[in-house]
C-alpha cells in the first residue's frame, strides 16, 4: 500500500509537468490544428535558458527564457508551419519532427554535456504519501497549472482575442471575412504554447537535472493530450492526471522502461475506442 | 455506344500518330534499356571500383533501399502515413534472433519468409486504425505502435539473452553451402535482394492492387463509388509493405550478425520518411534515390566537417541539423522530391528540344 501511495505521490509532480506540456500541445492544436513535435526541445531550451541566462537573478532569467522561447515559437510558426497551409495535415507534423532534429543538434552543440538545474524558489515539504515527500513546490506547481488553465479558458471563451483565435482555427475562411487577421492569431497561439513549454522546462529544472537528451519528454506529452482530447484544455489537465498516475504505477510494477510502452498503449486505446478523447469535440479525422 | 466510321484522312492521321508514338515508345525503350545496361555494369564492378573501406556504406545503402521502397508503397502510392518502419524492421530482426536462438538449423531463406509472414500479420494490425482514422491521427497510431514494439522487444531480449543481444551466424546462400561472409559476397547478396524488391514492387504498383492504392490515395469516396474496396486497399498496403520491411530487417540481422532492441528507434523511422520525401513520394525511383542519398549523407558530412573541425560531437550534431533541414526543405520546397525536380527538368529539356526542332524546321 505504501508503495502504491508513493507512486501516487510522485505522480503529483509529474501531473504539473505533463499539464504544462499538454497545455502547450493543446494551445497549438486549438490555434493551428497542428501537433508540434519540437515541444520537447522547447522545454529543454527553456530549462537551459532559464539556468544559464542570468545566473544570479533567477526570476528574471525565467522570465527571459519564457519571452525568448515565445519568440522562437512565433518564428517557428511563421517560417515552418505557415507555408503548409492547405497541405495534408501530417506534413507540418513531419516538419516539426525535422525541426526537432535540428533543435536537438543545436542544443547538443550549445550545451553539450551541461546539465541545467534550477534552485527551486520555494522549499519545504507538507508531509508524505507513502515514501514520497510532497513538497510545497509541487503543490504550488499544480496550483499554477490550475491558474494557467483558468486564465486560458477565460481567454479563449470570454475575451475578444480569444474568441477570434478560436474562430481563426475552426473556420478560417469565415474568420478572414470577418476581418480577423489570421496570421496574428496563429502567431499568438504558437507564442503562448512555447511560453508554456518554457514553464514546463523551468519546472522540470526545479525538480530534475535537465540534460540535452531530456527531449524525449515531449513524446510523453502526447498521451495526456490524446486522452483528454486534442482540443480540450481541461482534457489536457485531466489527461495529465491519468497519464501521470498510470505511468508511475506502471513504473512501480514493470520498471521505468515500461513508461513509453504504457504511454503508447494508452494512445492506441484512445485512438481505437474514442479518438476524440474524453473531452474533445467529436470532429476527429474519423473515416 | 455508337460506332463511328472514320474517313480515310482521319484514319491515316491517326495511324501516323500511332506509329510515331510506337516509334517514340520504342526509342524510349532502347534509351531506358541502354541506361539499365550501363547501370548493371557499374553495379557489377562497383566492389572493385570502390575502396574496400567504403563497401560497408554500399551495403547499408542497399539495405535501406528495400525498406524505403516499401514505405513509399504505403505512404506515396496508397496515401497513408506510417512511422512504424522501425518497428517492422525490429520484428523481422527479432524473428531471426529468436530463431537462431531456438532453432538454429533454420536457414536464411526460411527465416526471411517467416519474417515476412510476421511482418504481414503485424502490418494488418497496424493497418487497422488506418481504416477509421487518417492523417495526423494515423501517424500517432503508428507512433504508438513503435513505442509498444520497443517495449516488447526490450522485454523479450532482456528475459532471454540480455543486453548483448542475439548473435546471428553468417548465413548460407539457400540451397548451397556457400557462406556469405566477405564484404564482396554481402554486396552482391544485398544487391540482388534490392533488385528483386524493386522488381516485385514495380509489378505490385502496376497491378490491380496498386491501382486500388492510388485510387484510395486520390479520393476514398470516389474510389468506393468506383467499386474499390478501400478498406482492403489500406490493409493490404500496410500488410505488404510491412512484410517487405520485416523481411529486410531479417536480412539486415544476418548482415549485422547481432540483434539488439535499441537499434530500432523512432529516429530511424523518421529517417525512412525523410528518405522518401527527399527522393520523391510515390515513386520507386524516388525511394531508391532518397535511400541512397540519405544513407550516404552522414559519411559525406563527416568527411567535410572533419576537414573543418575534428570534434566528433559537433560532426554528429551537425548531421542531425542538416538532416532536419533536409526534411523541412524538401517537404516545403520540393514536394515531389528529387525525382520530381528531375521530372520537371526533363520536361523543360523536352520543351526546349521541341522548340528548337520547330524553329529549326521553319
User: Can you give the three-state secondary structure of B281-328, one letter per residue?
Assistant: CCCHHHHHHHHHHHHHHHHHHHHHHHHHCCCHHHHHHHHHHHHHHHHH
- Which of these, B214, B337, B225, B208, lies nearest to B276 by C-alpha position? B337
Neighbours of B163 (CB within 10 A): 10
List the single range of A67-76, B27-36, B269-278 with lowest mean pLDDT: B27-36
**Among partner residues B140, B267, B273, which is closest to A222 by beta-carbon distance?**
B140
3-state DSSP call for residue A228?
helix
**Among partner residues A99, A265, A271, which is closest to B129 by beta-carbon distance?**
A271
A184 touches chain B (CB under 8 A): no
B332 touches chain A (CB under 8 A): yes
Chain A residue at shortest CA distance from B230? A287
Prediction ipTM score: 0.77
pLDDT at residue B340 in the model: 82
Residues B298, A191: Cα–Cα separation, whole Å: 34
Winning range, highest mean pLDDT, from A35-49, A103-117, B86-100, B142-156: B86-100
Region B275-297: mean pLDDT is: 89
Beta strand B166-167 pairing with B258-259: antiparallel
**Among partner residues A83, A261, A267, which is closest to B140 by beta-carbon distance?**
A267
Half-sphere exposure of A133 (CA within 13 A, CB side): 8
Per the CB < 8 A criterion, the answer to whether B241 and B123 are in contact is: yes
Per the CB < 8 A criterion, the answer to whether B153 and B264 are in contact is: yes
Residue B23 has pLDDT above 60, yes or no: no
* Residues of chain B neighbouring A94 (CB-CB closer than 8 A): 270, 273, 277, 327, 331
Q: Is the dihedral of CA B276, B280, B281, B287 positive or negative?
A: negative
B267 touches chain A (CB under 8 A): yes
pLDDT at residue A287 in the model: 45
* Residues of chain B neighbouring A260 (CB-CB closer than 8 A): 147, 150-151
Residues B259, B262: Cα–Cα separation, whole Å: 9
Residue B4 has pLDDT above 60, yes or no: no
Q: Is the dihedral of CA A210, A212, A216, A219 positive or negative?
A: positive
Residues A229, A175: Cα–Cα separation, whole Å: 24
Per the CB < 8 A criterion, the answer to whether A133 and A9 are in contact is: yes
Find the DSSP H helices in A112-181.
136-158, 160-170, 172-177
pLDDT tens by residue, B127-185: 888 887 777 778 888 888 888 888 888 888 888 877 888 888 778 777 777 787 888 88
Neighbours of B299 (CB within 10 A): 15
A114 touches chain B (CB under 8 A): no
Residues A45, A62: Cα–Cα separation, whole Å: 12
In the block, residue with C-alpha cell 513504473: A251
Grid cell of B208 as nine digits: 490491380
Measured torsion, CA atoms of residues A189, A192, A196, A199, in degrees rounded to the nearest 10: 160
Residue B121 has pLDDT above 90, yes or no: yes
pLDDT at residue A142 in the model: 84
For all residues of chain A together, what is the average pLDDT?
A: 80
Q: State the Cα angle at A232 between A226 and A235, rounded to 5°.
A: 65
Region B49-68: mean pLDDT is: 87
Per the CB < 8 A criterion, the answer to whether A112 and A44 are in contact is: no
Chain CA centroid to CA B170, Å: 25
**Contact criterion met (CB < 8 Å) for B331 and A226:** no
- Which of these, A69, A82, A64, lies nearest to A38 by C-alpha position? A69
pLDDT at residue A268 in the model: 77
- Which of these, B249, B246, B259, lies nearest to B119 by C-alpha position? B246
- Which of these, A54, A76, A23, A2, lies nearest to A199 by C-alpha position? A23
For all residues of chain B together, what is the average pLDDT?
A: 83
* Residues of chain B neighbouring A258 (CB-CB closer than 8 A): 151
Grid cell of B198 as nine digits: 524493386
Grid cell of B210 as nine digits: 496498386
3-state DSSP call for residue B224?
helix
Residue B1 has pLDDT above 70, yes or no: no
Residue B327 has pLDDT above 70, yes or no: yes
Strands (E) across B107-246 are located at: 166-167
- Which of these, A102, A65, A47, lies nearest to A80 by C-alpha position? A102
Amino acid at each position: 500500500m505504501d508503495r502504491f501511495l508513493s507512486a501516487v505521490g510522485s505522480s503529483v509532480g509529474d501531473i504539473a509537468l505533463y499539464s504544462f506540456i499538454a497545455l502547450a500541445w493543446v494551445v497549438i492544436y486549438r490555434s493551428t490544428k497542428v501537433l508540434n513535435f519540437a515541444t520537447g526541445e522547447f522545454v529543454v531550451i527553456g530549462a537551459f535558458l532559464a539556468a544559464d541566462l542570468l545566473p544570479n537573478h533567477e526570476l528574471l532569467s525565467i522570465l527571459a527564457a519564457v519571452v525568448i522561447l515565445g519568440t522562437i515559437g512565433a518564428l517557428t510558426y511563421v517560417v515552418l508551419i505557415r507555408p503548409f497551409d492547405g497541405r495534408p495535415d501530417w506534413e507540418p507534423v513531419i516538419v516539426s519532427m525535422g525541426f526537432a532534429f535540428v533543435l536537438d543538434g543545436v542544443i547538443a552543440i550549445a550545451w553539450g554535456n551541461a546539465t541545467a538545474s534550477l534552485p527551486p524558489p520555494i522549499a519545504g515539504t507538507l508531509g508524505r504519501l507513502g515514501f514520497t515527500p510532497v513538497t510545497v513546490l509541487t503543490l504550488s506547481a499544480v496550483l499554477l497549472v490550475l491558474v494557467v488553465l483558468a486564465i486560458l479558458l477565460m481567454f479563449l471563451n470570454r475575451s475578444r482575442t480569444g474568441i477570434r483565435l478560436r474562430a481563426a482555427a475552426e473556420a478560417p475562411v469565415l474568420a478572414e471575412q470577418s476581418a480577423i487577421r489570421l496570421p496574428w492569431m496563429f502567431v499568438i497561439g504558437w507564442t503562448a504554447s512555447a511560453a508554456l513549454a518554457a514553464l514546463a522546462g523551468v519546472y522540470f529544472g526545479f525538480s530534475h537535472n535537465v540534460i540535452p537528451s531530456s527531449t524525449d519528454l515531449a513524446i510523453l506529452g502526447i498521451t495526456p493530450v490524446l486522452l483528454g482530447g486534442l482540443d480540450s484544455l481541461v482534457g489536457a489537465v485531466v489527461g495529465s492526471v491519468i497519464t501521470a498516475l498510470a505511468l508511475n504505477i506502471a513504473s512501480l510494477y514493470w520498471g521505468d522502461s515500461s513508461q513509453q510502452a504504457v504511454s503508447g498503449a494508452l494512445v492506441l486505446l484512445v485512438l481505437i475506442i474514442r479518438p476524440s478523447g474524453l473531452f474533445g469535440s467529436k470532429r476527429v479525422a474519423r473515416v | 455506344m455508337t460506332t463511328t466510321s472514320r474517313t480515310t484522312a482521319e484514319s491515316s492521321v491517326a495511324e501516323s500518330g500511332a506509329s510515331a508514338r510506337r516509334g517514340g515508345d520504342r526509342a524510349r525503350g532502347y534509351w531506358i534499356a541502354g541506361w539499365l545496361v550501363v547501370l548493371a555494369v557499374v553495379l557489377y564492378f562497383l566492389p572493385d571500383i570502390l575502396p574496400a573501406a567504403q563497401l560497408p556504406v554500399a551495403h547499408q545503402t542497399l539495405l535501406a533501399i528495400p525498406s524505403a521502397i516499401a514505405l513509399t508503397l504505403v505512404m506515396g502510392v496508397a496515401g497513408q502515413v506510417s512511422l512504424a518502419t522501425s518497428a517492422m524492421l525490429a520484428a523481422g530482426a527479432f524473428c531471426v534472433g529468436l530463431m537462431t536462438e531456438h532453432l538454429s538449423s533454420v536457414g536464411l531463406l526460411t527465416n526471411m519468409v517467416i519474417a515476412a509472414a510476421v511482418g504481414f500479420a503485424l502490418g494488418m494490425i497496424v493497418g487497422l486504425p488506418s481504416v477509421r482514422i487518417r492523417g495526423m491521427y494515423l501517424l500517432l497510431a503508428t507512433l504508438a505502435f513503435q513505442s509498444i514494439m520497443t517495449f516488447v522487444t526490450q522485454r523479450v531480449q532482456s528475459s532471454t539473452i540480455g543486453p548483448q543481444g542475439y548473435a546471428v551466424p553468417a548465413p548460407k546462400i539457400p540451397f548451397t553451402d556457400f557462406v556469405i561472409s566477405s564484404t564482396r559476397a554481402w554486396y552482391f547478396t544485398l544487391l540482388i535482394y534490392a533488385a528483386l524488391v524493386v522488381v516485385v514492387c514495380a509489378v505490385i504498383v502496376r497491378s490491380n492492387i496498386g491501382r486500388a492504392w492510388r485510387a484510395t490515395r486520390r479520393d476514398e469516396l470516389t474510389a468506393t463509388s468506383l467499386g474499390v474496396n478501400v478498406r482492403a486497399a489500406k490493409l493490404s498496403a500496410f500488410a505488404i509493405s510491412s512484410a517487405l520491411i520485416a523481411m529486410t530487417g531479417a536480412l539486415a540481422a544476418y548482415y549485422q550478425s547481432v540483434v539488439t532492441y535499441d537499434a530500432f528507434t523512432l529516429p530511424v523511422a523518421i529517417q525512412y520518411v525523410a528518405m522518401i520525401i527527399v527522393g520523391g513520394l510515390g515513386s520507386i525511383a524516388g525511394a531508391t534515390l532518397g535511400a541512397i542519398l540519405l544513407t550516404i549523407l552522414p559519411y559525406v558530412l563527416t568527411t567535410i566537417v572533419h576537414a573543418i573541425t575534428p570534434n566528433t560531437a559537433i560532426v554528429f550534431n551537425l548531421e542531425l541539423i542538416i538532416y532536419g533541414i533536409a526534411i523541412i526543405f524538401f517537404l516545403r520546397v520540393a514536394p515531389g522530391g528529387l525525382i520530381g525536380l528531375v521530372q520537371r527538368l526533363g520536361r523543360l529539356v523536352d520543351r526546349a528540344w521541341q522548340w528548337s526542332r520547330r524553329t529549326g524546321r521553319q
